[in-house]
Amino acid sequence: MAAKPPIAFIGTGVMGRSMAGHLMSAGHEVHVFNRTREKAKPLLDSGARWHDSAGGAAQEADVVITMLGFPRDVEETYLGPGGIVDRARKGSLLIDMTTSSPILARTISGAASARGLEALDAPVSGGDIGAREARLVIMVGGEPAAYERALPIFSVMGKNIALQGPAGAGQHCKMANQIAGAVGMVAWCEALAYAKRAGLDPSRVHASISGGAAGSWALTNLGPRALKGDFAPGFYVKHIRKDIGIAVASAREMGLELPGLDCARRLYDLVAEKGWDELGTQVLYRLYTSL
Decide: helix, strand or coil at residue 124.
strand
Report the interhelical angle of 102-114 vs 71-79 (nearest 10°): 10
What are the backbone dihedrals phi and psi of residue 141, each rounded to the nearest 5 degrees, phi first?
-120, 140
Indicate the burial class of 251 (C-beta count within 10 angstroms; 0-12, 13-18, 19 or more). middle
Decide: helix, strand or coil at residue 158.
strand
Decide: helix, strand or coil at residue 174.
helix
Specify whether the CB–CB gap between 75 and 121 falls below 8 A: no
> Would you call 174 a catalytic residue per the annotation?
yes
Q: Which of 174, 196, 242, 274 is catalytic?
A: 174
The residues assigned a catalytic role are 174
